[in-house]
Chain A
């Protein structure tokens, strides 16, 4: 096994997560099918499968997109975030069933290639209400496929976190496509108050949660401008940071986490090299800064992951004068050793230059 990525471990938490996830999937399908058979049993089996899986995949996508901001708003929800990719892959599988059944039912056994037929049977691309909404579903499914296929950490490492993150941010493009897939599709026939209402509630909740989380982050990350001299900027008072915790500041485009531990202070770049998790919201465990998202670790003095791991973050110079903590926002290359600033109650100390 390579040491260049942390293999996804199969621990008890994950087993419970998957059990609950798939239990939920089957429960949803059971309720959908039961209601259908009680209220409208005339439906064909294909339509039932298409509707049940389409609706389920879209509901799952909402939950997936809600987990991010909810975990940022309250860290007690972080375990949900950690295992989210299982949720994503499961959602893709459900959506794939929907897509395949649609392809078979509406586009196969005819005088055209089924995939081509998605794009060419209805050609009203210039009309909103007549728009071939299936094409939007197709592209959304393609995005979900790329995400599911690259969800493993192996790909994260190989594509580089920046590319990987960019690819996985496409989930918002997929969400937008699907809103219109539903709005220009089934809502055009089943245009009930509930249909449109639920779509609206889903959208408003997601946008609201994301806004709240961003607002909180803006408030959490201070942009100090009180300077000590040319280089050092005031961060906060010694007592403002809890032991083994950090304060996150944004200075000159540098996102810096200033950690306090063992009467010392060290500063590293706030972005975890795994998936840009916020190191400043993590904690020092067993002497290592531990990322709150998936537990990658870095030594506070040099920003290096302890061997055998090889991740490194940038480091910064820090200074303590009296009770005041200062940082120099000029980054050192990833993994550069910088001595911590030592705190001596009411006596100045610095790691100097």
Chain B
């Protein structure tokens, strides 16, 4: 039978030192928890799907000279390695660039036509991925450094691929091109919704079986903004029908009038096909 003074087998929290076997149990538990925790961390990280090698030059603004145009969406056309490259203009945070550009133009007393372009110098944060890039007007009104000359008529090179069906995701280009990783899929959906409802032009991303990715600026039948209309479908796998156009270096996709955006299953194949409807 046990006696009263033997406290070896009973530990109470306010005792300063736990008897041996309690200490041992706690040590075993701590080591086991640490081991299992470390394994969990390693296994989960190593089995991630990976991230795009996209870049957001956070904290670093660059001054760029180019042509400001509003068609099909606000862009700065810069020349890069002898080619003209359209950088999508986006605002700070989860906003499009239109408000900022409007303010800049008003302040500079410039009336920029929809189909015109104006030589300007802008300062902003570069975002780029896979040959496509965007510029965040990080400093608001101060993003405008200066303009040069009169506005010219923009003469974009346009070619149409005709009616197409695209299967893929509607995304906000700011995040998809580099601000966030992953900048697509379920975890990112609400952020993409915020960005697109804040005026950032939606883009359609279709990835092909061979790893190629098509990014197309998504517009309404007449080239109008359709940010509000696409919100319920953002970051979901969908199929859309319309006209696929190449405008300079950007694909533009104009939704067919009255055509529906059709939700696909999570595992549905992405890509382009020439049939529409059905």
Point out residues on A near B: beta carbons under 8 Å. 9, 11-13, 20, 24, 27-28, 31-32, 35-36, 39-40, 42-44, 46-47, 51-52, 55-56, 59, 63, 67, 70, 74, 76-80, 82-83, 105-112, 117-118, 121-124, 129-130, 132-134, 184-186, 188-190, 192-195, 198, 242-245, 282-285, 290-295
Q: Once bound together, how far apart are the Cα atoms of A55 and B51, in whole Å?
A: 18
Quick check: is B41 within 8 A (CB to CB) of the other chain? yes
| Interface contact A80-B42, CB-CB below 8 Å | no
Known contacts A35-B42, A59-B37, A110-B195: does B13 contact A285 (CB below 8 Å)? no
Nearest chain B CB to A40 CB, angstrom units:
5
Q: Once bound together, how far apart are the Cα atoms of A13 and B18, in whole Å?
A: 8
Known contacts A32-B41, A109-B94, A285-B10: does B185 contact A40 (CB below 8 Å)? no
How many of B's residues come within 8 Å of A, CB to CB?
A: 66
Which positions 27-47 of chain B face chain A at CB distance < 8 Å? 29-30, 33-34, 36-38, 40-47
Point out residues on B near A: beta carbons under 8 Å. 1-4, 7, 10-18, 21-26, 29-30, 33-34, 36-38, 40-54, 56, 92-95, 179-182, 185-191, 193-195, 197-198, 232, 236, 266
Partner of A112, one of B3, B185, B189, B194: B194
| Interface contact A194-B4, CB-CB below 8 Å | no
Partner of B49, one of A11, A108, A190: A190
| Interface contact B41-A42, CB-CB below 8 Å | no
| Interface contact B266-A198, CB-CB below 8 Å | no
Known contacts A24-B30, A55-B40, A117-B194: does B52 contact A42 (CB below 8 Å)? yes
| Interface contact B30-A79, CB-CB below 8 Å | no
| Interface contact A189-B49, CB-CB below 8 Å | yes
| Interface contact A121-B3, CB-CB below 8 Å | no
Known pairs A106-B188, A111-B194 / 6 extra A-B pairs, C-beta < 8 Å: A12-B16, A39-B46, A63-B33, A110-B95, A111-B197, A188-B266
Residues on A with beta carbons closer than 8 Å to the beta carbon of B42: 31, 35
| Interface contact B11-A78, CB-CB below 8 Å | yes
Partner of B181, one of A9, A43, A55: A43
Of the A-B pairs whose beta carbons lie under 8 Å apart in the complex, a sample of 7, sorted by A's number, is A31-B42, A36-B45, A47-B182, A79-B18, A105-B191, A198-B40, A244-B4
| Interface contact B2-A242, CB-CB below 8 Å | yes
Nearest chain B CB to A35 CB, angstrom units:
4
The closest CB in chain A to the CB of B17 belongs to A12
| Interface contact B193-A192, CB-CB below 8 Å | no
Residues on A with beta carbons closer than 8 Å to the beta carbon of B94: 108-111
Nearest chain A CB to B187 CB, angstrom units:
6
Partner of A132, one of B37, B38, B45, B190: B190
Q: Once bound together, how far apart are the Cα atoms of A284 and B4, in whole Å?
A: 8
| Interface contact B30-A13, CB-CB below 8 Å | no
Residues on B with beta carbons closer than 8 Å to the beta carbon of A74: 25
Known contacts A109-B92, A111-B197: does B41 contact A9 (CB below 8 Å)? no
| Interface contact B2-A130, CB-CB below 8 Å | no
Known contacts A78-B11, A294-B12: does B48 contact A244 (CB below 8 Å)? no
User: Across chains A and B, which 4 residue pairs bring their CB atoms closest together, nearest first?
Assistant: A109-B93, A110-B94, A295-B12, A121-B190
Most buried by B among A46, A122, A129, A242: A122
| Interface contact B13-A295, CB-CB below 8 Å | yes
Q: Once bound together, how far apart are the Cα atoms of A300 and B262, in whole Å?
A: 73
Q: Once bound together, how far apart are the Cα atoms of A169 and B146, in whole Å?
A: 63
| Interface contact B185-A188, CB-CB below 8 Å | yes
The closest CB in chain B to the CB of A123 belongs to B232
| Interface contact B25-A76, CB-CB below 8 Å | yes
| Interface contact A47-B194, CB-CB below 8 Å | no
Residues on A with beta carbons closer than 8 Å to the beta carbon of B189: 121-122, 130
Residues on A with beta carbons closer than 8 Å to the beta carbon of B53: 42
Q: Once bound together, how far apart are the Cα atoms of A9 and B38, in whole Å?
A: 31
Residues on B with beta carbons closer than 8 Å to the beta carbon of A124: 232
Most buried by A among B36, B38, B187: B187
Partner of A70, one of B29, B52, B179: B29
Q: Once bound together, how far apart are the Cα atoms of A124 and B16, in whole Å?
A: 54
The closest CB in chain A to the CB of B33 belongs to A63
| Interface contact B187-A110, CB-CB below 8 Å | no
Q: Once bound together, how far apart are the Cα atoms of A118 and B54, in whole Å?
A: 26
| Interface contact B25-A134, CB-CB below 8 Å | no
Residues on B with beta carbons closer than 8 Å to the beta carbon of A106: 187-188, 190-191, 194
Residues on A with beta carbons closer than 8 Å to the beta carbon of B95: 109-111
Nearest chain A CB to B122 CB, angstrom units:
20
Residues on B with beta carbons closer than 8 Å to the beta carbon of A122: 189-190, 193
Q: Once bound together, how far apart are the Cα atoms of A28 and B49, in whole Å?
A: 21
Q: Once bound together, how far apart are the Cα atoms of A20 and B38, in whole Å?
A: 15
Partner of B13, one of A32, A52, A83, A195: A83
Q: Once bound together, how far apart are the Cα atoms of A107 and B186, in whole Å?
A: 14
Partner of A28, one of B18, B37, B92: B37
Known contacts A28-B38, A46-B180, A109-B94: does B266 contact A192 (CB below 8 Å)? no
Known contacts A13-B15, A244-B4: does B185 contact A42 (CB below 8 Å)? no
Residues on B with beta carbons closer than 8 Å to the beta carbon of A121: 189-191, 193-194, 197
The closest CB in chain B to the CB of A109 belongs to B93
Residues on A with beta carbons closer than 8 Å to the beta carbon of B3: 243
Residues on B with beta carbons closer than 8 Å to the beta carbon of A188: 185-187, 266
| Interface contact A244-B2, CB-CB below 8 Å | yes
Partner of B30, one of A20, A105, A129, A185: A20
Q: Once bound together, how far apart are the Cα atoms of A290 and B46, in whole Å?
A: 48
